[in-house]
Amino acid sequence: MAIKDYIRERFFPHIWCPGCGHGMVLNGLLRAIEKIGLDKNEIVMVSGIGCSARISGYVDFHTLHSIHGRALSFATGIKMSRPELKLIVPMGDGDALAIGGNHFIHAARRNMDMTAIIINNRIYGMTGGQHSPLSGYGTMSATSPYSNIDNDFDVVELSVAAGASFVGRTTTYHTKQMTDILGQAIIHKGFSVVEIMSQCPTYFGRKNRLGSAIDMLEGFRKNTTPIGSKAKQKDPDLIERGIFVRKKMPEYCDEYDKIIKRAMKGN
């Protein structure tokens, strides 16, 4: 299997629980990278802290396992200082949007060329199942034992409002779409966001009586629909999948190159 060329096989089997979505995202991401044909040496993967962050240890790229919530800030420094590198930043929903929420919106606004993957399993898994910013009202967790009264937000709407020039959403069930959207996000010149709805059967599934990983995947199949589908008109509760935004916008490193030219002329 060609995608094995992209992993550090000596660390397998990985640390994730049976049926965890993170392995499925890793699987889909490697296929996307293989399809594009990127060289391992031109990819830098930066991650934060949490189950999602462990992805970086398993891939044979330049990998930076950084600190909680700040992966995009490290990535910004790497990209800005060496724009020819491809930056891929996998994050959990808590990593990206709670502790890292501020960095996320500003990275989106800046439009520096990198791909933020938000693996949304609606829970803090590594610490044992506390509610995350995407758990949503009425869900159960270790820190909402009487039901969660925190509202969630919509990652796609948030990303669009923050100015991301590419925004997509898919699920771990839709594996081919996942690979396709990730590939397009990586190719996209600018800040791309891909939300991947993912399952944590160990914590979110169990606490919310959602069954096994298989049941949760079935849930993604039933509860989502392609953007603009007729099904969505009939059932507004369905969550749309696909590419919501893809626009050409000035990329930050390119813009800064112009600043350098201006500053040098002034000398």
Where do contacts with other proteins occur on this chain (CB under 8 A)?
1, 3-4, 7, 11-14, 16-24, 26-28, 31, 40-42, 44, 46, 56-57, 60-67, 70, 73-82, 84-85, 102-103, 106, 172, 175-176, 179, 212-214, 217, 256, 259-260, 262-264, 266-267
Q: Which of 206, 26, 214 is nearest to 119 (CA)?
A: 26
Q: What does DSSP say about strands 239-246 and 166-171: parallel, antiparallel, or unpaired?
A: antiparallel
Nearer to other proteins, 176 or 247 (CB): 176
Nearer to other proteins, 149 or 263 (CB): 263
Nearer to other proteins, 131 or 190 (CB): 190
Nearer to other proteins, 23 or 183 (CB): 23
Q: Distance between CA atoms of 96 and 231, rounded to whole angstroms?
A: 30
Both tokens of 40, joined, read 């391992």
Q: Is 62 exposed, middle or buried (0-12, 13-18, 19+ CB in 10 A)?
A: middle
Q: Are 165 and 138 in contact (CB under 8 A)?
A: no
Q: Least distance from C-beta 214 to other proteins, angstroms?
A: 5
For residue 170, give the amino acid letter. Answer: T
Q: Least distance from C-beta 27 to other proteins, angstroms?
A: 6
Buried b (16+ CB within 10 A) or exposed e, 98-110: bbbbebbbebbeb
Q: Least distance from C-beta 26 to other proteins, angstroms?
A: 7
Nearer to other proteins, 60 or 150 (CB): 60
Nearer to other proteins, 58 or 244 (CB): 58
Nearer to other proteins, 31 or 241 (CB): 31
Q: Least distance from C-beta 187 to other proteins, angstroms?
A: 19
Q: Are 90 and 25 in contact (CB under 8 A)?
A: yes
Q: Least distance from C-beta 195 to other proteins, angstroms?
A: 18
- Residue ranges of alpha helices (H) inside the chain are 21-36, 55-58, 71-81, 93-97, 101-110, 155-162, 175-187, 206-207, 213-223, 230-234, 252-265
Q: Least distance from C-beta 180 to other proteins, angstroms?
A: 11
- CA dihedral defined by 233, 160, 91, 31, rounded to 10 degrees? 70
Q: Least distance from C-beta 240 to other proteins, angstroms?
A: 22
Both tokens of 217, joined, read 């995947």
Q: Distance between CA atoms of 192 and 120, rounded to whole angstroms?
A: 16
